Amino acid sequence: MNRYLKLLFAIIFTACILAYSNLFQFHGYCSYVNSEKQIFENSTSPEFPKNLKLRDKTLENSLEICRGDNLKECIPPLMKYKQLYRTSRPNNLVACVIEKTFSTFLTAIMCFLHDQKAFRESNRTLESDIYGERLCKDKNEFTELKKIEKWQKMSIFAVVRNPVDRFVSGFTDKCLREKVWRKYKSRCASCRTNLTCFVDKMYDRMMKFAKNPYKGIDFDDSHFFPQSWRCEFSSHLVKYQILQLDGPNFTDQILGLLEERGVESDGIQFINASLHYRTPHSTQDSVERATVEETVLNSPYLLRKILQMYYFDFLLFGYRLPDIPVV
């Protein structure tokens, strides 16, 4: 597709999302919203889940949960929230990092590109460059695009993830495996391992922030607030190249992007060799994750509440909404 057609589509799509949230009177251009179901049914984007089957139940069309009078119960998209950027000047590249979305690995990749010589001499690997001890702390890191010199002339990208998958992974990692609430009592919304409690409290926090943005954002907010609130998408979405972490060609896409930005073959090989490893935060294939995933997908209450939290992330980033089981 021609670059300008892509830009036009992105502008119209973003405006339609905003219109759908009653932020603008732009409904005349959004007739496709009424045929969302056909779009999602024909989509090749990754679905959720990949390996679980819902128990035999009648399913409710989840496309309806944020329409009409139901809209007020849904978390709005494109709020302004905190940002995390990583840069590589040698490659004229900016990455926006979103927690629980390839964030540790992406931070390490951008650090490696920022100074390959220093990274190699430190005897680090991408999987060992953990966040708390990262080599590039405060060296290539920014919290606003305007603080990055000449960022408008740089390529900018972000990695996104199926919203339910991201939520399940985050709860499993932080609340069940790490049990971060043992050291910090307020984390996991003070719910410890109680999934229903956590879902309710995170929904309330998102709604509170959406109505009156507060400054006291915390650990849970950073790991669970909507992806559409990040990366200054509300102002600069059309400038981004968006990569789906769970897409069928993610590895090829990110390596292709880096090649386009001039990363040489030995650097590509170094990165590619690590992409198949998992960081300590990965929950893939864990028993705890499978249990949380099945609980969410088979609970009308939990799944509806989570979809109300992330409905517009699904629409904005091209993911298919899972239908809600009816008891």
To 5 degrees, how large is the angle CA 101–CA 146–CA 83? 25
CA distance readout (Å), 93 to 86, 97, 110, 132, 228: 8, 13, 9, 23, 21
Which pLDDT band holds residue 28 (cuts at 50, 70, 90)? very low
**How does pLDDT run across 108-135, given as a tens digit for each residue?**
999 999 999 999 999 999 988 888 889 9
Share of the chain above pLDDT 90, in %: 71
Instruction: Give the bridge partners for 58, in sequence order.
Output: 326
Distance of alpha carbon 234 from alpha carbon 244, whole angstroms: 19
To 5 degrees, how large is the angle CA 166–CA 231–CA 246? 35
Quick one: average pLDDT of 230-257?
A: 96
What pLDDT was estimated at residue 278? 56
| pLDDT above 50 (res 29) | no
Q: Where are the domains of the chain?
A: 85-293
What is the overall mean pLDDT for the chain? 85
DSSP code at position 81: -
**How does pLDDT run across 211-233, given as a tens digit for each residue?**
999 877 899 999 999 999 999 99
Stretch among 12-16, 99-103, 185-189, 298-302 having the lowest mean pLDDT: 12-16
What pLDDT was estimated at residue 185? 94
| pLDDT above 90 (res 326) | no
| Phi, psi (degrees; rounded to nearest 5) at 49 | -95, 175
**How does pLDDT run across 150-197, given as a tens digit for each residue?**
999 999 999 999 999 999 999 999 999 999 999 999 999 999 999 999
pTM of the model: 0.82
To 5 degrees, how large is the angle CA 67–CA 68–CA 70? 70
Distance of alpha carbon 236 from alpha carbon 156, whole angstroms: 10
- Quick one: tokens of 141? 């890191």
Please check whether residue 26 is in contact with residue 18, taking contact to mean a CB–CB distance below 8 angstroms.
yes
* Nearest C-alpha neighbor of 190 from the set 177, 203, 204, 175: 175
Which pLDDT band holds residue 16 (cuts at 50, 70, 90)? low
